[in-house]
Amino acid sequence: MSTGTSTTTPALVVDNLKITGIPSMAAIIEELFLEVLPGEILGVVGESGSGKTTLGLALLNYCKAGTRVSGGSVSVAGQELAGLHWRAVRELRGQTVAYIPQSPASALNPALRIGTQLKECLPGTSGEALLRVREVLREVALPDDDAFLARFPHQLSGGQQQRVAIAMAFTTRPALIVMDEPTTGLDVSTQEHVLATVRSMCKTYDCAAVYISHDMAVVAELADRIAVMYSGRIVEIGSTAQVLANPSHPYTGRLLLAVPDLDAKRPMIGIPGHAPSPLARPQGCAFAPRCLLADDFCRACSPGSTDVGPRHTVRCFKADLPFPAVPSRAVTAHTTRPVEEKPVIHIGGLKAGYGTNTVLEGISLDVYPGDCVALLGESGSGKTTLSRCIAGLHHDFSGSLSLDGEPLAASSFKRSKEQRRRVQYIFQNPYESLNPRRTVEELILQPVTAVRGNVRNSREIVATALERASLRPDHAGRYPDQLSGGERQRVAIARALATEPGVLICDEITSALDVSVQSSLVDLLRTLQAEMGLTLLFITHNIALVRNIAQQVAVLERGRIVEFGQVEDVFANPQHNYTRSLIQATPNFQLPVRLHRPGVQGASVPAEGPR
Amino acid sequence: MSTTLTTHHRLAGAGRPTVKQSLFRRALKSKRTVLGAVLSGFVLALAFVGPYIAPHSPTDDFVAAPFSPAGIGGPFGTDNLGRDVLSRFLAGGQTLMILSLVATALGVGLGALVGVLAAYRRGWLDEALMRTGDVALAFPQIVLALLFLSIMGPQLWLLVLMVGLGHLPRVARVVRGAALSVVERDFIKAAESVGIPRWRIMIGEIVPNISSTLAVEFGLRLTYSIGLVAGLSFLGLGMQPPAADWGLMINENRIAMTVSPWSVALPVIAIAVLTVGTNLVTDGLAKASIGSDQGITA
């Protein structure tokens, strides 16, 4: 709806903003120009480290410790933020600019009732404020009765909490709302509600919004305009329709290709390498080292902004060139298995819980060798509990569980070394799953020595594992905090592979990582599955991912498997209401035609790998 | 806040020394830590080198009349029996240092073990260990030491044991708190899933991640140990006459403080400087360790 008439005063103008780190003086954000009109939603997308959160906070006139605005200006509703007195800044926040953070659970004060929190930033008498609070609550489709106002945040669901946060942001009718990944922690169906709420609230209040996200699919659905950030600059900005139909920066194109396709008609393709650190930005275009179009000129000079359409600008020398072919792995067709083959993992009538609280009930599942079975479900569906039962990390269950026909003990400590070797578990968050005090080499050898005792060819094992996980040999001597998120997860994969396992349990292993990294990890897993004959159990809440990696899918709802079958069958013809609603709630992201040309499938470019 | 997180670690960048190494290095960046290290280093050096450079035997040479003022018999006068104050001072620190260090190591070591065990195993074991600790905490540290030392007689091993055991519940409580956030992290579960024995998980996975807590705790407890050991010696339950010992010197010579002040002042100053020094170092470590344990990513 971006009408873009020059008569409207923009709600937000960012002019040549520069934010630097202290004391390094490295530019975290540079040459940043933005304009958002009232009622317009601007989506800001980019990988981790691109500076999008720093930008979002700068719009509130807030700088994280160790950063400061060193140039340019930000003005909201005509008011310049730089040099404002702290009292004025306090007035500004909440009144003129509101902020919705990523995690509503930590944004709401757990000790205050919902009503009290919502009234906090409202002027006027308590009675007036209360009327306004009820009005806003109705608008975000929450109850407005006294019973609800008297509740504490922990008595609400995640989606309700986030809607309370949205209501809180809108109570004062701000001119601008900044949202930093507000739906990242939420389930797809909850996400859909929250997005709908955001959209209608912005429309009702004619409020400008800046929506920060790494999820291209969400932004494409919500935003009127999209700004793509890379290494502290906006490399492309334009209306959603323009950017999606005609992405002009190679980075935008690659970001779009990295989004998993719900219909699995095309492979998802990662972006090799990672964004440069603010301390080590390359001369010239920051994307040049990862860009297939880059030449010496790109590496020498930094491109300025060029207009490629109405209110659509791009920072690239090659914006008018067609996108180069991007190599991609063909989707391997799954071979049908002989009927007499025995399942690797057999689960029969499994029931699990925490104390008196039952989380899983009546779970029966057979996983055959070489298959990838996805466990799909929202948070609280019990998918992680199930995977932990299989890994021997959750002991409180009954029912049968066997590996290669041998029963598996509930606790990993009571399992045989061979069983522990055969089943390996990869955790969701690579920032948590690697001991920060151990080198990569030690980390990889840890499970090996645990199941095989001291081994003589340890160097060889580490080298093989690193190579399989597409890591460099010199990664062996590094500590986890010297690695990027994607590299860490590869280390976790290498660690799991080092014992030559038969079954790999992957618990949401891509959800903490960027899309570009996500697709290369999925690629890696698929290759490994084919090359090593691995059996994969892939736990996820992301339907599009399921389509891209798994052959079979088990849909979990509230601790029960409601649907199980071949992926194509389940998605083509979902039998259960829950599966249908999941598919419906997921934004179906379609690639623009420009990237869809048959040439894209060709492979004349150097192979991908994290270099 | 994934953005911050990765930016941070990229800034931290390649080639950075490991966290463990850099705790002390980072601590030494602050002036107070350097001052503390210089102060305590000076007293430590004095205590350990002292016995070899003392001009007289601290116990056998009677150089002048008792309580001679400074300049007679030695630069700092003589003590209650006419021995050289300087020689006794130089010789009297070593035992105090060794006893304090051993007692601290014992207390922090056992305390860490109990704390990590309680945090890792939780359940009834946690309750039993911590509630027992609570009971022990109800008694002031010195009272328990006094009780046992007066029943069983002043013996050095008992002194060390009592001071060390006095630290145990205090250290255990702090370590348990630090370890609780570590045991919940996924790398512990990763180790469990491949069947690494629990004792190795405790030593190899948990302890390295609470090392800065341990370093700070060691410094803090060392300060207390020095005070306690010196105090017990002063009360006659530590080193026995005629041995040279700072605590003992203060007791023996305090009646003549106005006549021969140095025999009291020297050990008092040394103990004060040492405790201030170790405290400053501990403080520096504590400041430098902020965020370094859970740290790294947070």
Q: Which ranges of A185-336 does DSSP label H, i.e. alpha helix?
A: 188-205, 216-222, 240-245, 250-258, 296-300
Please identify among residues 338-397 of chain A the ones whose CB lies closer than 8 Å to any CB of chain B.
391-393
Q: Which ranges of A327-452 does DSSP label H, i.e. alpha helix?
A: 383-391, 417-422, 430-433, 440-452
Q: Which residues in chain B have Cβ-Cβ distances shorter than 8 Å to A495?
A: 190
Weakest-pLDDT range from A164-173, A481-490, B110-119, B161-170: A481-490
* A599: closest CA of chain B, how far (Å): 34
Alpha-carbon distance values, A131 to A116, A136, A168, A171, A198 (Å): 13, 9, 14, 11, 21
Q: State the pTM of this model.
A: 0.78
Q: Which residues in chain B have Cβ-Cβ distances shorter than 8 Å to A433?
A: 185-187, 189-190
pLDDT band at B298 (very low <50, low <70, confident <90, very high): very low
pLDDT in tens, A186-211: 778 778 888 888 888 898 889 999 99
Q: Do B2 and A214 touch (CB under 8 A)?
A: yes
* B108: closest CA of chain A, how far (Å): 21
pLDDT in tens, B47-57: 999 889 888 88
Q: Which residues in chain B have Cβ-Cβ distances shorter than 8 Å to A479?
A: 18-19
Residue range B66-77: mean pLDDT, rounded: 81
Could you give phi then psi for residue A20, rounded to 5 degrees? -120, 155
Closest to A84 measured CA to CA, from A92, A96, A18: A92
Please identify among residues 197-256 of chain A the ones whose CB lies closer than 8 Å to any CB of chain B.
214
Residue ranges of chain B whose CB lies within 8 Å of a chain A CB: 1-7, 9-16, 18-20, 185-187, 189-196, 198, 205, 208-209, 211, 295-297
Q: Do B2 and A485 touch (CB under 8 A)?
A: yes
**Nearest Cβ partner of B1 from A53, A446, A481?**
A53
Weakest-pLDDT range from A90-94, B39-43, B93-97, B279-283: A90-94
Q: Do B2 and A450 touch (CB under 8 A)?
A: no
Q: Do B190 and A495 touch (CB under 8 A)?
A: yes
A-B interface: how many C-beta pairs under 8 angstroms?
130
Q: Do B195 and A413 touch (CB under 8 A)?
A: yes
A446 close contact with B: CB closer than 8 A: yes
Q: Do B186 and A484 touch (CB under 8 A)?
A: no
Q: Do A53 and B209 touch (CB under 8 A)?
A: no
Residue range A8-12: mean pLDDT, rounded: 84
Helix-helix angle B156-183:B94-121, to 10 degrees: 40
Burial class (CB within 10 angstroms; exposed 0-12, middle 13-18, buried 19+) of B143: exposed
pLDDT in tens, A511-537: 877 777 888 888 888 888 888 888 999
A195 close contact with B: CB closer than 8 A: no
Nearest chain B residue to A487 by CA distance is B6
What is the rounded average pLDDT for all residues in chain B?
Answer: 84
DSSP secondary structure code for residue A534 in this structure:
-
Q: Do A391 and B193 touch (CB under 8 A)?
A: yes
Contacts of residue A211, Cβ cutoff 8 Å, sequence gap at least 6: A41, A42, A43, A44, A179, A182, A198, A219, A222, A223
Pairing of strands A67-76, A79-80: antiparallel
* B132: closest CA of chain A, how far (Å): 27
Residue range A23-34: mean pLDDT, rounded: 84
A279 close contact with B: CB closer than 8 A: yes
pLDDT reported for residue A593 = 59
pLDDT for residue A82 is more than 70: yes
DSSP secondary structure code for residue B171 in this structure:
H
pLDDT reported for residue B171 = 94
pLDDT in tens, A546-575: 888 888 999 998 889 999 999 888 988 888
pLDDT in tens, A345-385: 999 999 988 878 888 888 999 998 888 999 998 877 888 88
- Judged by DSSP in three states, A333 sits in coil
**Nearest Cβ partner of B3 from A48, A392, A424?**
A48
pLDDT for residue B8 is more than 50: no
pLDDT in tens, A50-68: 888 889 888 888 887 778 8
Residue range A568-595: mean pLDDT, rounded: 81
* A479: closest CA of chain B, how far (Å): 7
pLDDT reported for residue B165 = 93
Q: Which residues in chain A have Cβ-Cβ distances shorter than 8 Å to B1?
A: 53, 102
Q: How far is CA A234 from the centre of its chain?
A: 20
Please identify among residues 39-78 of chain A the ones whose CB lies closer than 8 Å to any CB of chain B.
48-54, 64
Nearest chain A residue to B191 by CA distance is A447
Q: Do A485 and B193 touch (CB under 8 A)?
A: no
pLDDT for residue B4 is more than 60: no
Distance CA A439, CA B127 (A): 35
pLDDT for residue B15 is more than 50: no
**Nearest Cβ partner of B193 from A393, A434, A482?**
A393
Alpha-carbon distance values, A49 to A19, A225, A278 (Å): 14, 21, 8
Q: Do B1 and A412 touch (CB under 8 A)?
A: no
pLDDT for residue A3 is more than 50: no
Q: Do B297 and A431 touch (CB under 8 A)?
A: yes
Strand positions, DSSP E, A101-244: 176-180, 208-213, 225-230, 233-239
Interface residue of B5, B122, B185, B193 to substitute, partner A, most A CBs within 10 Å = B193
Interface residue of A394, A395, A415, A435 to substitute, partner B, most B CBs within 10 Å = A435
Q: Do A433 and B4 touch (CB under 8 A)?
A: no
A273 close contact with B: CB closer than 8 A: no
What is the rounded average pLDDT for all residues in chain A?
Answer: 84
A182 close contact with B: CB closer than 8 A: no
* B194: closest CA of chain A, how far (Å): 6
pLDDT in tens, A314-332: 888 887 777 776 666 555 5
Cβ contact B33:B76 at 8 Å: no
Q: Do A48 and B296 touch (CB under 8 A)?
A: no
* B197: closest CA of chain A, how far (Å): 8
Nearest chain A residue to B206 by CA distance is A435
A18 close contact with B: CB closer than 8 A: no
Nearest chain B residue to A498 by CA distance is B194
DSSP secondary structure code for residue A515 in this structure:
H
Output the six-digit token pair for A177.
């709302």
Q: Which residues in chain B have Cβ-Cβ distances shorter than 8 Å to A391?
A: 193
Interface residue of A28, A229, A431 to substitute, partner B, most B CBs within 10 Å = A431
Q: Do A447 and B297 touch (CB under 8 A)?
A: no
**Nearest Cβ partner of A446 from B6, B196, B296?**
B196
Phi-psi region of A227 (alpha: psi -120 to 50; beta: other; left: phi over 0): beta
Output the six-digit token pair for B143.
């009272």
Distance CA B90, CA A176 (A): 72
Nearest chain A residue to B16 by CA distance is A482
* A451: closest CA of chain B, how far (Å): 7
pLDDT band at B199 (very low <50, low <70, confident <90, very high): very high
A28 close contact with B: CB closer than 8 A: yes
Residue range B8-21: mean pLDDT, rounded: 41
Q: What is the ipTM of this complex?
A: 0.75
Q: Token match 């002019």: residue?
A: A15
**Nearest Cβ partner of A431 from B3, B5, B198?**
B5
Residue range A443-448: mean pLDDT, rounded: 92
pLDDT band at B110 (very low <50, low <70, confident <90, very high): very high
